[in-house]
Amino acid sequence: MKIVIAPDSFKESLTALEVANAIEQGFKQVFPNASYIKVPVADGGEGTVQAMVDATQGELVSCQVHAPLGNIVTAQYGLLGGGEVAVIEMAAASGLHLVPIEQRNPMQTCSFGTGELILDALDRGVQKIIIGLGGSATNDGGMGMLQALGVDFLNDAGEPVARGGQGLGEIQQTDVSALDARLAKVDIEVACDVDNPLCGPLGASAVFGPQKGADAAMVTALDANLAHYADSIKQALGKDVADIKGAGAAGGMGAGVLAFFNAKLRPGIDIVMETVGLAEQVEGADLVITGEGRIDSQTIQGKTPMGVTRVANLHGCPVIGIAGCVSEDYGVVHQHGLVAVFPAVPRAMSLAQALASGALNISNTSRNIAMTLKLGQQLKPS
Ligand SMILES: O=C(O)[C@H](O)CO
């Protein structure tokens, strides 16, 4: 029996590989001779680099970069395929977790560090860069990242504009002559965690600005600055990015990568599954097991369990899911091919307890599932 185990991480509890190990441990107690293939996956959000590195025996690279407020931090990205592909989560250098709550101010926070990660990858001679957008502390349209890569954004005095969301409103001239020429030769794919446009009521500032520290007045100012940024891009490059789905991801970095790089925006789960070769692994499998910290009605919107289910079903494999918890409305996933879903938490417990006992809970639940499957093999058809 061939069993493919392809879960996402359980956030704040276990990496995707640790989840896969726990599932394997439970199943092995019942089916010790089955062949188990573990393929950690992710949907482009947090944990994507780790999952792809684990799934492909890649390596993590550490870099000193500027955090959103300019202090120096160590950030990591992944190198896959013997150094040909870099996987970068923008949040590693420009994420919300790098800014203490009382200092969050998207007028000032800047995505320069993400550009430094890209530069490091280019210095290593990669041929492809996958950038995961989301979880940012910034609302600068990716301007800081572009400044690190050589783009000059100048004000009416011909001076560099201020860093952060504030500077976007000052742009009078955009000079791409010093943009790192190596970018034109690498393949760039971008995984967005949302498909919001750049501006307006569903734009980056209105929807995600408040979590980055913006009050109502700041949201209005940031929204106007991003609109000005889009106009300046149109003037300098002739590209209209304002209304493209995903342009508003990571504080408008979606717009920046679309305008200045020859980049494709794709669903994160598709990029990850392709890179880790999930379809090939699933070939000939008897069962696929996926999972995520929570399975609910949102799971059908491009989250990992649905991506895995889609690929497995295409190969005729049944899929079951294990979740930390499920919502009341999770049943909709069955209509999308996920045969059964099992919550792993065994009794009422605090979130802290559930997160701390994740591996044991998943392993016990997996053993129970395997026992039930074994019983099913023994029952006589009526
Ligand atoms: O970073 C952000 O702004 C959100 O995660 C949406 O991409």
Tens digits of residue pLDDT in 125-163: 999 999 999 889 999 999 999 999 999 999 999 999 999
**Which residue, 161, 120, 121, is CA-closest to 141?**
161
Residue 280 CA to ligand 1 center (angstroms) comes to 32
- The answer to whether the beta carbons of residues 121 and 129 sit under 8 Å apart is yes
Mean pLDDT of 105-131: 98
Atom of ligand 1 nearest to the CA of 204: 3
Residue 44, phi then psi, degrees to nearest 5: 100, -15
8 pocket-lining for ligand 1 (C-beta < 6 Å): no
Cα–Cα–Cα angle for 381, 322, 278, rounded to 5 degrees = 95
Atom of ligand 1 nearest to the CA of 249: 7
pLDDT per position as a tens digit, 270-297: 999 999 999 999 999 999 999 999 999 8
How far, in whole angstroms, is CA 197 from its chain's centroid? 18
Atom 2 (ligand 1) nearest CA: 250
User: Helix 16-28 vs helix 48-56: angle between axes, to the nearest 10 degrees?
Assistant: 50
In angstroms, the CA 211 to CA 262 distance is 30
**For residue 381, what is the DSSP state?**
P
ipTM value for the complex: 0.99
267 falls in which pLDDT band (50, 70, 90)?
Answer: confident
Atom 3 (ligand 1) nearest CA: 250
- Report pLDDT for 81: 85
- Report pLDDT for 380: 85
DSSP β-bridge partners for residue 76: 62
251 pocket-lining for ligand 1 (C-beta < 6 Å): yes
Atom of ligand 1 nearest to the CA of 251: 3
Q: How far is CA 334 from each of CA 192, 203, 344, rounded to the nearest angstrom?
A: 26, 32, 18
Which residue bears the tokens 């891009």?
A: 233
136 pocket-lining for ligand 1 (C-beta < 6 Å): yes
In angstroms, the CA 304 to CA 306 distance is 5
214 pocket-lining for ligand 1 (C-beta < 6 Å): no
Q: Does the pLDDT value for residue 166 go beyond 90? A: yes
Residue 73 CA to ligand 1 center (angstroms) comes to 20
For 34, other C-beta atoms within 10 Å of its C-beta total 15
Mutate to test the pocket of ligand 1, among 97, 133, 219, 301 (most ligand atoms within 8 A of CB): 133
Residue-by-residue DSSP string for 32-48: TTSEEEE-----SSTTH
**Which residue, 191, 227, 232, 228, is CA-closest to 206?**
227
308 pocket-lining for ligand 1 (C-beta < 6 Å): no
Look over the chain and give the mean of its residue pLDDT values, rounded to a whole number.
Answer: 95
Residue 196 CA to ligand 1 center (angstroms) comes to 9
- For the sheet with 319-326, list strands across it: 35-38, 2-5, 287-295, 319-326, 338-343
Give me 280's structure tokens. 């090939």
Mean pLDDT of 80-92: 94
76 falls in which pLDDT band (50, 70, 90)?
Answer: very high
pTM of the full structure: 0.87
SS3 readout for 161-226: CCCCHHHHCCCCEEECCCCCHHHHHCEEEEEECCCCCCCCCCCHHHHHCHHHCCCHHHHHHHHHHH
**For residue 298, what is the DSSP state?**
G
320 falls in which pLDDT band (50, 70, 90)?
Answer: very high
**Which residue, 287, 284, 307, is CA-closest to 4?**
287
What percent of the chain is predicted at pLDDT more than 90? Answer: 90
Q: Does the pLDDT value for residue 298 go beyond 90? A: no
How far, in whole angstroms, is CA 123 from its chain's centroid? 24
142 pocket-lining for ligand 1 (C-beta < 6 Å): no
SS3 assignment, position 10: strand
Mutate to test the pocket of ligand 1, among 48, 98, 193 (most ligand atoms within 8 A of CB): 193
- The answer to whether the beta carbons of residues 190 and 45 sit under 8 Å apart is no
Which residue bears the tokens 């704040």?
A: 12
Q: Does the pLDDT value for residue 382 go beyond 80? A: no
One-letter amino acid of 188: I
Residues 6 or more apart whose CB falls under 8 angstroms from that of 118 comprise 86, 88, 129, 131, 145, 148, 149, 183
Mean pLDDT of 73-94: 96
Give me 335's structure tokens. 């209509």
CA atoms within 13 A on the CB side of 4: 27
- Report pLDDT for 301: 80
